[in-house]
Amino acid sequence: MQFLKGKTIPRRTFLRGMGATLALPYLDAMTPAFSRFGNAAGADRTRMIFIEQVHGAAGSNAFGASKNLWAPAGVGKNFELIAEGALPALEPWRNYLTIVSNTDVRMAEAFAPPEIGGDHFRSSATFLTQSHPKQTQGSDLYVGTSIDQIIARRIGQGTAMPSLQLCIENLDQAGGCYYNYGCAYTDTISWASPSEPLPMIRNPRIAFDLLFGAGTDSADRMSRRKANQSILDWIVGEVSGLKRELGPSDRERLDKYVTDIRELERRIQAVESRNSSGEVRELPEAPIGVPDSFEEHIRLMFDIQVLALQSDMTRVISFKTGRDASSRAFPESGTNKGFHPASHHGGREATVLEYNLINRYHVSMLPYFLDKLKNSMDGDKNLLERSMIVYGSPMGDSNLHNHRRCPLLVLGHGNGQLAGNMHLKAPDGTPMANVFLTLMHKLGLDDIHSFGDSTDEFALSV
């Protein structure tokens, strides 16, 4: 369906008013009339999302592996996500699920005696770079360029934000951390160059304002919030004018998009109101826009990601869901034990199973995101069809601080590049970097012949 007047509008169309800028989702009116192709230029680009889980998994421990707490017993399509494991929440999504088990992240290991014990403070820097961080507390940081940034330079340059970096926990520590590693190694998973860590956004309000240009400066934004105005109040005329020019299906799609923005904004406002009420907070150090609830926070960040991808503001996102050595508790998981203490389970069967409860809880956050992507259309496909979502950890058995049998999932179909419903077990000693190299090749980056400590491609099918 084109414009009622027979015109088309550019994919890069923004509605502006009073400092607010609203990028549009893909509309049928953006498809050139009589086009042989189903979508406007750029509408069929694959989206890449990288999500880090810190502290490895209970299934990476020898006992946990024998019980298939992470990697299923069966391979190929013949696998079961057991109820006692970490992945049962993904059973309804198995057609979009590719499990890659038994890969290593050896670049996060100690290379010299002074590095022994510093695994937590190397891991995050290694995850998306698959490179070994230089041990330093100074400004001479050095690790590698991360895969999200390599991809962003190829598929993200036509967007307003080549990449978006988000996080959940407090990552703003400056200077040096433990074992003579700079905190920057722990605070981000995205590196624009081997010496240039990229900051991550923790506050949903900041991410929201970044996406929608809500206000010309901080004073303008504060004034709007005090007046309890929505950014949509600033562009209501522009939205109404555009809808009059659209066909019925596009009007429906635009209405849903605007409703989703308003609902997200309302939820952020509710968090800010609650956190500024004077009541005692569970996270007293957190900005007022950050929910005390892990689940509420992660859902807000997932919603922001969906809107960013839907509007094509960015095609590459990295999301850090925790901080190494964090002792945050997740009572909803079934245990009150802190994350880091629980990960040091001593190899005892009961405590390995208790740690698995936290892994299962974290994985259970993913279906919310998958459902949102599946229900967001981008031309003739939904965003889950167009996306590749990498979820994993650079640590394996956190009790031993090792980096073998590291957890790794890939979700989505990546515009037909991934079949889903697959468990692939790598041969012993396979670097996780092999999988990342293959993902880049599936995006068309065939001129990249190695990444980190890769040794070859990894077949993501059988």
In tens, the pLDDT along 406-458 reads 999 999 999 999 999 999 999 999 999 999 999 999 999 999 999 999 999 99
By three-state DSSP, how is residue 14 classified?
Answer: strand
Question: Does the pLDDT at position 281 exceed 70?
Answer: yes
Decide if 307 is inside a domain: no
> What does DSSP assign to residue 253?
H
Q: Do 110 and 216 share a structural domain?
A: no
- The pLDDT-based confidence of 163 (bands split at 50, 70, 90) is very high
Question: Is residue 24 located within the same domain as residue 94?
Answer: no
Can you read off the two tokens belonging to residue 296?
């509420």
Please enumerate in sequence order all residues whose Cβ is within 8 A of that of 1, keeping only pairs 6 or more positions apart, or say none. 28, 29, 246, 247, 248, 249, 250
Q: What value does the mean pLDDT take over residues 66-83?
A: 97
- Report CA 93 to chain centroid distance, whole Å: 17
* Residue 7 sits in the same domain as residue 150: no
The mean pLDDT of 78-98, rounded to a whole number, is 98
pLDDT for the residue 34: 41
In a domain, 393, yes or no: yes
Phi, psi angles (nearest 5°) of residue 102: 75, 25
Residue 226 has pLDDT above 60, yes or no: no
More confident residue, 172 or 157: 157
The residue from 289, 324, 339 where one domain ends is 289
| DSSP code at position 382 | E
Return the CATH number at 64: 3.40.720
Inside any domain, residue 295 = no
Boundary of a domain, candidates 271, 289, 307 = 289
**How much is the mean pLDDT over the chain?**
92
234-250 average pLDDT score: 89
On whether both 283 and 344 belong to a single domain, the answer is: no
Per-residue pLDDT of 180-209, as tens digits, reads 999 999 999 999 999 999 999 999 999 999
Residue 135, domain member (yes or no): yes
Q: Tell me how many domains the chain contains.
A: 2
Instruction: Evaluate if residue 2 carries a pLDDT over 90.
Output: no
Confidence of residue 131 (pLDDT cuts 50, 70, 90): very high
Alpha helices, H only, 13-144: 62-66, 120-127
Whether residue 209 sits in one domain with residue 178: no
The answer to whether residue 301 sits within a structural domain is no
- Does residue 375 share a domain with residue 459? yes
Residue 50 CA, chain-centre distance (Å), reads: 4
Q: Report whether pLDDT(158) > 60.
A: yes
Confidence label for 8 from pLDDT (cuts 50, 70 and 90): confident
Predicted pLDDT of residue 173: 61
pLDDT over 90 for what percent of the chain? 81
Residues 418 and 283 in one domain: no
**Tokens, residue 148:** 């999200």
pLDDT, average across residues 290-312 = 97
Same domain, 217 and 194: no
Q: 26 and 133 share a domain?
A: no
User: What SS3 state is found at 42?
Assistant: coil
Q: Which residues contact 449 (CB under 8 A, 6 or more apart)?
A: none
421 and 432: one domain?
yes
Q: Is residue 11 part of a domain?
A: yes
pTM (two decimals): 0.94
Range of 122's domain?
A: 44-201+315-462
Average pLDDT over residues 340-349: 98
Q: What is the pLDDT of residues 351-371, one digit of tens each?
A: 999 999 999 999 999 999 999
**270 and 176, same structural domain?**
no
Please tell me the predicted confidence (pLDDT) of residue 37. Answer: 44
> Is 299 inside any structural domain?
no
For 186-209, give the DSSP string: HH-S-EEETTEEPP-B--HHHHHH
Instruction: Classify residue 304: in a domain, yes or no.
Output: no
Q: Write out pLDDT tens, residues 25-43.
A: 999 898 865 454 445 555 5
Do 214 and 191 fall into the same domain? Answer: no
Per-residue pLDDT band at 20 (split at 50, 70, 90): confident
Q: How far apart are CA 349 and CA 67, in angstroms?
A: 10
| DSSP letter assigned to residue 76 | B
Summarize the confidence of residues 330-336 as an average pLDDT.
98
From the centroid of its chain, how far is CA 204?
Answer: 14
Which of the four pLDDT bands, split at 50, 70 and 90, describes residue 177? confident
